[in-house]
Amino acid sequence: MRLDEILDDPEDTWHEDRRLMNDLPDDTQDAIEQLRQRKNHKMMGAGINAYAGTNDYENFGDVHRISSDSDGGAIFLDVVASNPHYANNPFLPKVKSIKRSGETQTTIVERLVPFKTPAILNSGPLMKAVWDSYFVQSWEEAKPEWGYNPMLDVASVIDEAVKLPDPSSIIKHPKLIEAVQLIQQLVKTYDIPMTDLHNQNVMWRMSVYSPQLVITDPIAL
């Protein structure tokens, strides 16, 4: 199955989302507008704190993420990129480059697949195999607590692990434990009252064998 067979074409909602970013620094807003003027540019997403788009949608090109340099997502990606140890953690994004100008940070990251892609999330046997490789509680054991497809609440489960002194009590995959410990470290360092882990901030990296969950933006400042 090809990616273009399972992905919906993203809708450019900039005319609606633009007003959400009025509090961003002027140079950050200018950088976003400049990116949007590039040939073949396509918006991938936007929120209060950041804009994401690609200049090579058809070939699954890298994503440019633009935000203020004090944004939680920017700080998370900066930590991931600056520590070579995290380069081999499949649960963390692959950062290609980071550029700062004024108060703006432009991060170029690998393009990932939306978490709620039906062809992935609705495949029960596939999601069961992925879940069972990540968590101590089995897929069948998780159903009474999380519903018929526990993977729908995977971000909440990871968020629960962040709040625990020992995330290995519910997570068994060593690299996912490492990713959770990184989030715990950021929460402590920046005195963050709550994480920003939800289904919009986790995505999939496609591989030959199975989709790989990736935590993309776990903290908000």
Pair (138, 78) in one structural domain: no
Pair (150, 198) in one structural domain: yes
* Predicted pLDDT of residue 47: 80
Pair (118, 193) in one structural domain: yes
Pair (162, 188) in one structural domain: yes
The tally of CA atoms less than 13 A away on the side-chain side of residue 138 is: 3
Count of structural domains, the chain: 2
* Predicted pLDDT of residue 12: 62
The parent domain of residue 160 ranges over 114-215
* Predicted pLDDT of residue 207: 86
Pair (90, 176) in one structural domain: no
Pair (123, 178) in one structural domain: yes
Pair (79, 121) in one structural domain: no
For 41, residues 6+ apart whose C-beta sits below 8 A from its C-beta are 35, 53, 54, 55
Average pLDDT over residues 38-62: 90
Which CATH number belongs to the domain containing residue 50 in this structure? 3.30.200
How, if at all, do strands 104-109 and 63-68 pair?
antiparallel
Sign of the alpha-carbon torsion through 159, 165, 171, 173: positive
Last residue of a domain, one of 111, 135, 155: 111
Q: Which one, of 80, 72, 29, 77, lies nearest residue 51 by Cα? A: 29
Q: Which of 7-11, 31-35, 83-87, 175-179 has the highest mean pLDDT?
A: 175-179
Q: Is 96 helix (H, G, I), strand (E, B) or coil?
A: strand
Q: Is 212 helix (H, G, I), strand (E, B) or coil?
A: strand
Last residue of a domain, one of 96, 111, 126: 111
Last residue of a domain, one of 111, 140, 156: 111
* Separation in Å, CA 194 to CA 9, 15, 150, 197, 207: 32, 30, 22, 9, 32
* Predicted pLDDT of residue 14: 61
pTM assigned to the model: 0.92
Pair (158, 207) in one structural domain: yes
Pair (53, 79) in one structural domain: yes
CA 132 to chain centre: 21
DSSP-derived secondary structure letter, 202: E
Pair (130, 73) in one structural domain: no
For 168, residues 6+ apart whose C-beta sits below 8 A from its C-beta are 136, 177
User: What does the pLDDT look like over 64-78, one tens digit per residue?
Assistant: 999 999 999 999 999
* Predicted pLDDT of residue 21: 74
Pair (107, 157) in one structural domain: no
| Domain membership flag for residue 221 | no
* Predicted pLDDT of residue 6: 38
* Predicted pLDDT of residue 9: 55
Spatial contact of 149 and 115, defined as CB atoms under 8 Å apart: no
